[in-house]
Amino acid sequence: MRVLAVDDELPALEDLVRMLEASPAIGRVESAASAEEALVALGDGAAIDAVFLDVRMPGLGGLELARVLRRFERSPAIVFVSAFDDAAVDAFEVAAVDYLVKPVSRVRLDEAIERAARRAAPEAPAASDDETLAVDALRGGGTRLLPRSSVLYLQAHGDYVRVASSEGRYLVRARLSELEERWAAHGFVRVHRGFVVNLRRAVEVRPRLNGTAVLVMADGSEVPIARRHVGELRRKLGV
């Protein structure tokens, strides 16, 4: 896959290029220090599959550039990479496949590259199978569209569900049982009366003396496992 990285801050651009080049899914990385430079690169006949794009830049901003790219006959996949999360909803309105918040982790960048690759592949379906969830940020307010693949676990929280993801902690007005049923086919299982976990983001089961256990997630957080779920969970994880 051939990609274009766009950021007006040189250190941030160099870091992004370095991380993209380290991915085996990417064959070549082009770079541009502005939206205007990006348009020149895209207009030179280069077959760019995905654009990793900053939101706030002098002159033509990232959102404006994305709207221009959507009018291309063969529009590249768009991944926003920003130090701010206040443009997440606008980003998904222009059909971005992901929205990364700086500093970007290797795990989140790899997820975004995978989603961009599916979007760019000719045989891929037009719509991504990575559902998004509208959540309320616990800090700073606002609403974000959170990719399901970034969710580590869900916790019952009164009339809400607390969503723990690799991007932060959020709230969504829903029942835990509703999300459990909706996402069961995507690796989400009940491990406790108040917790549903994404087994794809689990790394270790740690037993406790009373027959219970805790499940360690990819970010180091621990989720309690009820005694009656321990055996079944070990079988599912092959441990």
* Domain range for 227: 133-237
* Confidence band, pLDDT 50/70/90 cuts, at residue 224: very high
Q: Average the pLDDT over 19-48 and give the result.
A: 88
Residue 140 sits in the same domain as residue 116: no
Is a pLDDT exceeding 60 seen at residue 99? yes
Looking at the domain assignment, is residue 125 inside a domain?
no
Q: How many angstroms separate the first and last alpha carbons of the chain?
A: 36
Residue 80 sits in the same domain as residue 150: no
Total number of domains in the chain = 2
Residue 165 sits in the same domain as residue 105: no
Is a pLDDT exceeding 70 seen at residue 137? no
Q: How many whole angstroms separate alpha carbon 108 and alpha carbon 166?
A: 8
Residue 8 sits in the same domain as residue 89: yes
Query: What confidence score (pLDDT) does residue 113 get?
Result: 94
Looking at the domain assignment, is residue 127 inside a domain?
no
Q: Average the pLDDT over 100-104 and give the result.
A: 89
Residue 196 belongs to domain with CATH number: 2.40.50.1020
Q: Tokens representing 124?
A: 């891929």
Is a pLDDT exceeding 80 seen at residue 127? no
Q: What is the mean pLDDT of the chain?
A: 85
Q: How many whole angstroms separate alpha carbon 162 and alpha carbon 168?
A: 11
Picking from 120, 144, 169, the residue at the C-terminal end of a domain is 120
* pLDDT tens-digit series, residues 139-175: 655 677 888 999 999 999 988 999 999 888 899 888 9
